[in-house]
Chain A
Amino acid sequence: MNTNSNVYTIIYTTVIVVVVAAVLAFVSTSLKPMQNANIKAETLSQMMTAAGLGSKEDFSKMGNDGVLGTYSENIEQAFTVNLAGERTGELKTAKDEIELIDNLKPQNKAILAAGEPQLPVYKFKSGVTVVPVYGAGLWGPIWGYIALEEDLKTIAGAYFDHDSETPGLGAKIKDEPSFKAQFEGKVFNLENPSNPFDIVKGGAPEGAMDKIDAISGATMTCNGLNQAIDIWIGAYANYFSKAAAAQAETTEEE
């Protein structure tokens, strides 16, 4: 057979591509449940790292099962709120059926603009509340989890992760402990929901409670993170104010 004829070449490449596609589709479908379980455990461990329940290393030693267990032991309640700050639904927290809302990553601004997003709120027994932030870095998506004290504006801890930021520069949002440590004790300015927090280039003024220093050489990543925090904390601002007011009332009554 003439393996160099046009017809042969076209048929050959078509068959090869179809066969390869079929193999990949099959493998991808059959491994999907395990990959999703890994991603879920990863998400939970990032949230719990932000909430101060352990370090990333502790959780990766635990394995998926341990992470799910720790989460369901430590979570008080998880629910969703809308932009007006009203509760819209519950998320299951029992170990075997943990529910997370983590499909917001690619949508970000769009989901907030499109009306009624379901914003997840994770309230831990230690009193901290964890909320996610999603945004765009220089090369790809960045996201993080911010843990708030009971007053719902003081930051108790934060964890950030990224898809493909430059190692040594933008990747420091994840790798540099001192960057994350800067967040602790800072306070969101919820009276200005469009800009509750700033990551400042060239050094934050001393004593500014809603500002921290940016990372040198990672301007785009820091801008992206700043925007992510502004958009998402802004979206939660109504809930935070309402919940903090409600909490203040119950404390007074007692």
Chain B
Amino acid sequence: MANLKETILNPILKGNPITVLVLGICSSLAVTVQLKGACVMALSVIAVTGLSSLVVSLLRNTIPNRVRIIVQLVVVAMMVILVDQILKAFAYDVDKQLSVYIGLIITNCIVMGRIEAFALGNKPIPSLLDGLANGFGYGLILVIVAFFRELLGSGTIFGLQVLPAGYVPNNLVILPPFALILLGCIIWVHRACDKDLQEK
């Protein structure tokens, strides 16, 4: 059980895909202007990483080694298209707002990275948890970044005005470079708190 706990907690804290492994940076810059979009993106990535890890893990003993990357890609692509289709049917506005970035989950290094590193060599249940936890670790950072960007860039949270009407929205915050600055700060804080992450 201790091992399972480790599987779940590690991707969220010590092995966070964004702040420690520095994977998935691109989409975390692109979809964090508003919290709503970031939340949907986070949920989509959690679903994709979890389910594709589960499926690949179920198939792991049958996959021919020479074409394993292609088989993984087919599975991931299927999951991403499913998520996109479902969003188009049930959350059309958000899907339009996220536009190409839902499709680009396929190219998110976290998904393939976890499948190669974990799901191919582990049983289905731990693989599912590992996928979900990695998606969650990614989503958590996304939501933190989006919180600050929406608050300072538009003065709103989930579209509701929270800062006084006199607040002049900061345009720099809306632009992608600020997400990178914010991400740098998060990595800084994360490393300062966790001594194990500091280089000697």
Contacts and interface: CB of A to CB of B under 8 A. Distances in A.
Contact of A31 (B61, B71, B74, B86): B86
A23 B85 CA distance: 12
Contact of A9 (B66, B86, B89): B66
Contacts, number: 59
B157 interface: no
Given A4-B66, A8-B64, A12-B64, A17 B92 contact: no
Interface residues of B, number: 26
A3 B74 contact: no
A27 B63 contact: no
A23 B93 contact: no
Interface string A1-39: 001100011001100110010011001100100110011
A192 interface: no
B93 A3 contact: no
A164 interface: yes
Contacts of A151: none
Contacts of A247: none
Given A8-B64, A164-B99, A35 B88 contact: yes
A168 B176 CA distance: 11
A34 B175 CA distance: 34
B88 A38 contact: yes
B65 A4 contact: yes
Contacts of A184: none
A3 B85 contact: no
A4 B85 contact: no
Question: Chain A binding site: helix, strand, loop or mixed by DSSP?
Answer: helix
B180 interface: no
Contact of A24 (B63, B78, B100): B78
Contacts of A20: 74-75, 77-78
Interface residues of A, number: 22
A60 interface: yes
Given A13-B70, A23-B82, A24-B78, 8 more contacts: A3-B62, A4-B66, A9-B66, A16-B74, A20-B78, A24-B85, A38-B88, A38-B89
B67 interface: yes
B64 A9 contact: yes
9 contacts: A8-B64, A9-B66, A13-B70, A16-B75, A20-B74, A31-B86, A31-B89, A38-B92, A164-B100
Interface in A153-201: 164, 168
Contacts of A28: 85
A42 B94 CA distance: 12
A27 B82 CA distance: 7
Interface string B95-135: 01001100000000000000000000000000000000000
A57 B66 CA distance: 51
Contacts of B65: 3-4
A12 B78 CA distance: 17
B88 A31 contact: yes
Interface in A176-231: none
B62 A12 contact: yes
A33 B63 CA distance: 36
Q: Of residues B67, B77, B92, which shows the largest number of chain A Cβ atoms within 10 Å of its Cβ?
A: B92
